[in-house]
Amino acid sequence: MVLSTVGGGMLSLAYGMRQIGLVPGLLLLVSSCWLSYFTNDLLLTASKFIPKRHQQQQKLTYWTFSNECHPSWGKHLATFTQVLLLLQNFGSFISYEIAFGGLLDLVWKILVNPQTHYSAKKKKKGGKKKKSEHSSYFKMNPFFYIHTYIYIYIYIKGDIYVWAIIVITGGIIYPLSLLRSMSALRFTSLLGIGCSLYLATVIGIDDKTWTQWLEGLLISYPLVTFCYTAQQYMLPIYVELQHQSHRRMRKVLRRSSYLILALYVMVGAFGYLTFLDGVCGNILLNNYHEHWSVMLAAVCISVSMVLAQPITTYAWRMNLAEMLFDVKQLSLQKHVVITTLFTLFTMVLSLLLTDIETVFALLGATTFPAIGFVLPAIFFVCLVPKDKFPYRRRFAIFQAFVITLISLVSFFYQIYTLLYPLDLPCRSVHAIQTSNLF
């Protein structure tokens, strides 16, 4: 549950606190943590009132919840919900690939410094190069151009963004995504949690008008929402929980919420206090004077995001299977084909996009609040009898209305900032540059 929630979004928390201030930022983190637990509990409570046939078949998903909401419009809600989930998982996958590709590219440029190596090697050889007898043959060979491309962008320009995404996606993410059960990823989840803990440890050790504060809230709100949306993963995790019970799952939710809040406070608060108004959208791009621990933190958070990708693929594939084939698990052939196409298409888009802050902000103002905070309230109101939990029902409706209103305003403000970018410089020492593929 922690790995499903914690990831690349924590890199922008300090930037969000820069926009809104330290104390309001901490309050936003705490309130969002509580709302995240509250909406997860809404889903858990609503699962008690799902027909027994779904519980016996272990079909506790947003799809079954939506279909059971109403006999007439429940199917339309289910289709709308599945489209939102597909878009959310699709966007999350791309954003994480952009994040770990950029961070690994940054570490490569700092530690390896291939440009200096290439210049020294060139000076040492000197003189004119003799034309090879087989040069025409090599130029006719297609592998010659692939080798030339790799040589230019890795050894001369020093860019490994493209190849980091291609190699890691093909060698790690894709094989893990082919696993047919989330329980098979429990050991990689522990490693990912350890990487996130290390990032929080490294960052932790190392006066505005009301209009400015409101603008800062509209910028920081989607970033925090992005960090706290993992409600769609709770139901599959609950289904695969050993000795399944609501009491055990609530214990899991409470403990994971405490750990997530502690991680976010360390990263957001200490990152902001370190650089104040110079915080970058990606905290690891700030000037840490190339310290080895921060470089290791960049590698660790990249590992955490890489290990979270198979879980995202699992959720996306399951949602697609329910929407198109009305099954929980695909046949082996469809499983392999759909997983291959999904990872390949998202990888290509990740190679073309590089602005991680924009991706986080747009997702955090659209699909993430709808999936994490609005839909659980709808499911609870529709499935739980009116005489049950009256106060919880009223608050669920109230928080869904407030979240929807803030999300709409924040979304339009994000569009405005795309058309008229804000001048928010950061004290960074390195910029992530991506090679132009086309």
Spatial separation of the C-alpha atoms in residues 303 and 198, rounded to whole Å = 11
Angle formed by the axes of helices 74-111 and 356-364, to 10°? 160
Spatial separation of the C-alpha atoms in residues 104 and 420, rounded to whole Å = 30
Contact (CB, 8 A) for 373 and 39? yes
Tokens 């996606």 sit on residue: 169
SS (H, E, C) 51-99: CHHHHHCCCCCHHHHHHHHCCCCHHHHHHHHHHHHHHHHHHHHHHHHHH
Query: Which architecture, in CATH terms, is 2-119+139-206+213-419?
Result: Up-down Bundle (1.20)
For residue 121, the number of C-alpha atoms closer than 13 Å in the C-beta half-sphere is 7
Q: Which strand (E) or helix (H) includes residue 212?
A: helix 210-228
According to DSSP, the residues that pair with 428 across neighbouring strands are 286
CA 71 to chain centroid, in Å, comes to: 34
According to DSSP, the residues that pair with 286 across neighbouring strands are 428
275: tokens are 């650089």
Residue pLDDT tens, the chain, 438 long: 676 677 667 778 888 888 888 888 888 999 999 999 999 999 989 888 887 655 555 567 787 788 788 766 778 888 888 899 898 889 889 888 888 888 888 788 777 654 443 343 444 444 444 444 444 444 454 544 555 555 555 544 457 888 889 999 999 999 988 887 666 565 566 666 677 666 666 665 544 556 777 777 888 888 888 888 888 778 777 777 767 778 888 888 898 899 889 888 888 888 887 777 777 777 777 766 567 777 787 888 788 788 878 878 887 888 888 788 877 778 889 999 999 999 999 998 888 776 676 777 788 888 889 999 999 999 999 989 888 899 999 999 999 999 999 999 989 988 888 788 766 666 554 443 433 333
Contact (CB, 8 A) for 18 and 279? yes
The reported pTM is: 0.73
> What are the extents of the domains in the chain?
2-119+139-206+213-419
Instruction: Provide the 8-state DSSP code for 184.
Output: G
